[in-house]
Amino acid sequence: MNHRHFIASFSYSSFLLFILKISYTSHFVATAFAISSTGGETTKKAVYLGIDVGTQGTKIVAYCPQEASIIATASRSYDVMPTEVTGRAEQDPSSTWMPAIEECLMEVGHTLQLEQQDDNAEPSSYRIKGIGVSGQQHGMVALDSQLEPLRPAKLWCDVEAVQEANDLKDYFHSQQGQGNLDFLTPSFTAPKILWMKRNEPELYDKAKWFILPHDYVILKLANLRRPITDAGDASGNGFFLAAKRENSPIIAQAIDQDSKGEQSGESNTSVLEKLPTILSPNQVTGILDDYYVQKLLPWTASGMKAANIKAIPVSVGSGDNMCSALGVGCVSPGQAVMSLGTSGTIFAVSKRPPSGTDPSSLAPFCDATGQYLPLACTISCTGVLTQVLKEWTDFSSHEEASKYAASVPIGCHGITFLPYLGGERTPNWPHATGAILGLTSSNFQYAKDPAVIYRACLEAITFLLANALEEFPNKNDIDTLLVVGGGAKNPFWQQMIADITNRKLIFPLETETAALGAAFQAGAAASGMAVEEYVKGQAQALKRSPDTVQPQNHKAYEEAAARFRQFGSNLFDKRI
């Protein structure tokens, strides 16, 4: 089905905002809204909100292009649902993500004094002109016909669907499928859907849609009648063929025809028809629903100045890695980003997708500009490090732990930590577990030293990222890494990364890169610009630290890195 793409265009006195409305039929209906500027509107500065819905919390940034800066932020924390099931990681979208967004919207609105718009108060100098959404990738949100979740969302770090991932890959190969699905892992959405069909058949039969976390947030914010997505986030769903920019009918057929597990009555609708429509990178999906407008602008609830309320367009959004690339200005080939969050990621913009048929674990994703974003993701990153800090040491913070770990020699006296507490994606070892190895009579005394174990964990996470970096086909062209995420603030870890990867590091000053990237996309969509060109025009906002970190101790780490690779390979695979 072909759909026309409508974008916004502005003039000095007014703008015509074409908003994509979704009809109750199978077709899209484009509805045009003519919105005129009144009441001194030209004196107000445009602000774009970027929402990042992550695994551990939600963040919102308010970005003002005229000031080239973030002028307000808000965040709320939450966690995955408690479980005793190995490999399971779930969250309830309606009781976790959306309440956090509501609270953040209210906080940002208050910070910007958006509520002060009545005749008796000094009006705010800002006006919200658009909203973009970044979301954790690969999750599965199953919706019923009323667009309500049927069950908690299975997250990217949920690896219950190991067998399903293997079965889908086997079927894909049996049908001589060609494309980028050869590396399919349990983290992706498609295996989770097959898992649901086999383990929760009654819920599966009720499912009208299978969407991603950011798709759900867009659906609710704009009160759409059917879900949409973008190529960037869709390229992590396990169906999507990046080179063709379409979902694979072979994977859908494998799920449709699967007869394993207890069946409760088959649906005649293919799973392919239950996936959201893919829109272009700078497309507007709808306008912010009144419910959320009132959270952001509480004065609208009483009807004051209703005539001056401006429609706030909601852009198509994307996955967190795609938005993070925008937020650091990584929109041209030759640039690479390393993100140190709950998971670790490395990605680089490319004009062409990787084949996806070589033995690497690179995910041949699309980016949020219309190009490609080859990406390696490690499940084991700051989440594991935080668990070691809390459960294995008495240190009060990562700063304190790093201070003591700095006194431990490189290689940790021969002690090797395998960080796979929740399995691993790169390499594809979903059944891998954590381990402390290399203990001998001569180093056993150090195993009880929390500084040694903390450093051994930090080295292991960094070795894992360095191994992933070596899988990029253009690795020799990457001499500098843009390092982002919470872990990027640690000077001790900064030097370790530079030394182990043997590359220079530079650091964007803005740490909330995914939220900022979502705001950039919102700006591009609202102004009708190509996303790549809009991001390049925000150079003043993409400031970087004047300090760089140069590698110094690469050779000293090589022995420990080789030991780490060998231990992992012996235990879990023949390859890393």
What are the tens digits of pLDDT across the range 168-179? 999 998 887 776
pLDDT surpassing 70 at residue 122: no
| Average pLDDT value for the chain | 86
Strand-pair category, 228-230 with 277-279: parallel
For 323, the token pair is 């938005």
pLDDT surpassing 90 at residue 304: no
Query: Residue 133's pLDDT band (boundaries 50, 70, 90)?
Result: very high
Q: What is the mean pLDDT of residues 509-526?
A: 93
Of 522 and 546, more confident: 522
| Rounded distance between C-alpha atoms, residue 139 and residue 96, angstroms | 14
Q: How many CB atoms lie within 10 A of CB 320?
A: 31
Nearest of 216, 242, 219 to residue 231 by alpha carbon: 242
Query: Residue 298's pLDDT band (boundaries 50, 70, 90)?
Result: confident
The whole-number pLDDT of residue 23 equals: 35
pLDDT surpassing 60 at residue 512: yes
The whole-number pLDDT of residue 309 equals: 55
* Burial of residue 35 (number of CB atoms within 10 Å: 0-12, 13-18, 19+): middle
pLDDT surpassing 50 at residue 222: yes
Q: Does the CA dihedral 174-177-178-180 come out positive or negative?
A: negative
DSSP 87: T
pLDDT surpassing 80 at residue 7: no
Q: pLDDT digits over 429-473, tens only?
A: 888 999 999 999 999 999 999 999 999 999 999 999 999 998 887
Indicate the SS3 state at residue 475: helix
